[in-house]
Amino acid sequence: MQDNIYAFDPESQSYGLSWSAQFELVMKWAPAITLLTAITGSKPGRDRVMAVMAMLQYAAAQTPIPADDKVAALTAKMLLTVEGGALVDYLHSLFLGLAEPSNHAQPDRPAGT
């Protein structure tokens, strides 16, 4: 195993983590899948903002660094504004647009058109 635990090992198709460490990592982040599902299934506006805030708080809680907790709290306050809600809804629509095959970028079309 390499010193860098994130170095990709093509033979095992893992990032140098044992199976048990990989399982532990999946279990630690499994709630994030539920939270992402809640975001995509929520109604526009406050419901969606609350789902995004829950995801931010969960992600921040996964690290021992207090700075990301503060950033998540400040971002949550920002998202509760009208403009923050509009941003969440806009980003959600962009995400859903990326999922549509007809909206993928065209190689002969400049970005933003």
pLDDT in tens, 28-48: 888 988 998 899 889 988 999
Please report the pLDDT score of residue 12 as a whole number.
52
Q: What percent of the chain has pLDDT over 70?
A: 72
Helix (H, G, I), strand (E, B) or coil at 9: strand
How many other CB atoms are there within 10 angstroms of residue 81's CB atom? 11
With 0.75 as the threshold, say if the pTM is over it: no
Please report the pLDDT score of residue 83 as a whole number.
93
Please report the pLDDT score of residue 99 as a whole number.
55
More confident residue, 64 or 4: 64
Average model confidence (pLDDT) across the chain:
79
Please report the pLDDT score of residue 102 as a whole number.
55
Nearest in space to 38 (alpha carbons), one of 59, 14, 55, 26:
55
Please report the pLDDT score of residue 8 as a whole number.
52
pLDDT confidence of 11, banded at 50, 70, 90? low
CB 71 within 8 A of CB 53: no
pLDDT (tens digit per residue) in 63-90? 899 999 999 999 999 999 999 999 998 8
